[in-house]
Structures are given as structure tokens and as C-alpha cells.
Amino acid sequence: MKKEHVSIILPTYNRASLIKKAIDSVLEQTYPYFELIVVDDGSTDDTKKQIEEYRDSRIRYVNPGYNQGAAGARNYGIQCAQYDYIAFEDSDDVWRPSKLEKQMQVLVQSTENVGFCYHKILYHMGNHMQAILPAETVELEKKSGNIYAQLLWDNLVGCPTILAKRSCIEKTKGFDTKLKALEDYDFALQMAAHAQAVFIDEILMDARYATDGVSGNMANYLTASILILEKYKKDYLDTDTFRHRLEIILRDSERLGVEGQVVSLLEKIL
């Protein structure tokens, strides 16, 4: 296989106690041809000190100088990326050693119609609970090729599973900084709208549910769900997935005890 290099973008904010596990899992990859761009999103802890302890020229520490959120930090990392293949990692993720090699084997050999590939995550939920994403109940054939309609039904693509061609990313508007959650879902929708995907049916990384992160803020998640429903309303209606997404939003709002406010907001924007 041709030794194409990969730019790996790792945004972080006050995760000094966790980030070394994430970085170490990248350095242990069986595919060594990469740069790891650590985007320090305005951390106030000793994140910079932790990064400077590494003596590996493939690691690049960049700091925009202010906190802009996960979406903005990833966009900044994309701007800094040198290579034509781009991957993403979160600061509390652990990549399995063959992740990058297996994804590059798929993407380098893919046709021009393929813009990105992704894979399974083992999600550690706490209290000895685990989940595999995307759901194994989704038929395998719906996870590769033109997955846009399936993505509108429900998200299949976690951001840290993505390895994308730069040419695919350049056809998107990047990560939407207005979204305080689900910005990765929106980004995957943008890519899938114009490119095919390849799914690797294997767990290639471990992630954890973080109550101090984006995944732990249900209010932000609910607001982002509504904004995405508005943004892709026509496509949801055209693919007969609108009612399904609306039911999910109403279910989550009822769980939070804010169903009345959410219904009023939906009536205004839809």
C-alpha cells in the first residue's frame, strides 16, 4: 500500500488527566505515517505541559488562544492539516492499534465516489455498562455506499471513527459552530450528502460517556437536535424520516421535563 500520510485532529479542553491515553493510542498505531494535531481549545490546566513531554516529531501542538468549542477547534485543526487524509480523535478516546492501518487500506483503494470510512465503537457507559455503535440492528448493507437516508433516520457515524479524504471535507462547510452538540452528526450528513461511505464492521476504538463533555449535556443535545431537524427539514420529509426524528426529540424533551417549551420552539421554527 502506498504510504499516504494522515492528519489526525485531536481537540482538547482541560483534559490533561486523560489526554495522554488518547495520544499514546495514536503513537501505538501499526500505521506510523501521520501527524497528530492537538488543538488546545483554551485549556487552563497543564495540557500544554503534558504535550510538551512527548519527543515525537509527529505531534503538533496548536493553540488558537481562546475557547471556541469542539466544532471550532476541529475546523481550526482542518486548517492546520498538511495531508490529504484526515482523521479525528477525542481527548478521552483510545484507538486500537490497527485502526488507522485498516481504515487507510480501505480508503486508499476506494473509488472516487467514496469520501470517507468509519467503523464500530465500543462505548463505555459507566457502571459496567457498554454499548456498540452504530447499532448492530441496522442492516450491514445500509451502513456502506449511499448512507445519507439512513443517516437522516439515525446517526451511524461517530466523529472519532471518521477517516476522510480532504476532497470530501472540502465539499462541506466544516463543523457547524452554532451547534453545541451533534456537530459531528451534522458533519457526517454533509459528507454523506455528496459522497459514499465504507463501513468497517469491526470495533477499532473505545470511547467513554463523559458527563463533563458534550455527550453529557442533554439540554445542548436537545437544542442541537431541533436545529438539525430545521436545517435538513426538506431532506427529512423527502426520505420519510421527519416523523421519526421528531418523535425522538419529543421523547427526549419529555424525559427532561421540557416538552412544553420544546413544542413551542418546534412550532416557531418548523
Higher-confidence residue of 12 and 2: namely 12
Looking at residue 1, its pLDDT comes to 58
Residues 254, 215: contact at Cβ < 8 Å? no
Name the average pLDDT for the chain. Answer: 93
Residues 87, 9: contact at Cβ < 8 Å? yes
pLDDT exceeds 90 at position 164: yes
Looking at residue 215, its pLDDT comes to 45
Q: What is the pLDDT of residues 123-144, one digit of tens each?
A: 987 788 899 999 999 999 999 9
φ, ψ (nearest 5 deg) of residue 207: -130, 165
Report helix, strand or coil for 217.
coil
Average the pLDDT over 54-70 and give the result: 95
Looking at residue 128, its pLDDT comes to 81
C-alpha cell at 243: 416523523
Q: What is the pLDDT of residues 182-223, one digit of tens each?
A: 999 999 999 999 999 999 999 999 998 665 554 447 888 999
pLDDT exceeds 80 at position 2: no
Looking at residue 211, its pLDDT comes to 52
| Parts of the chain belonging to CATH 3.90.550.10 | 6-211
DSSP-assigned beta bridge partners for residue 238:
none
> pTM of the entire structure?
0.94
- Alpha-carbon span 73 to 43, nearest angstrom: 12
Looking at residue 3, its pLDDT comes to 87
C-alpha cell at 172: 462541506
270: nearest Cα among 245, 252, 148? 245
In percent, the amount of the chain with pLDDT more than 90 equals 83
Average the pLDDT over 38-63 and give the result: 96
Strands 94-95, 163-165: pairing kind: unpaired
Which pLDDT band holds residue 268 (cuts at 50, 70, 90)? confident
Superfamily (CATH H level) for 6-211: Spore Coat Polysaccharide Biosynthesis Protein SpsA; Chain A (3.90.550.10)
Looking at residue 125, its pLDDT comes to 79
In percent, the amount of the chain with pLDDT more than 70 equals 96
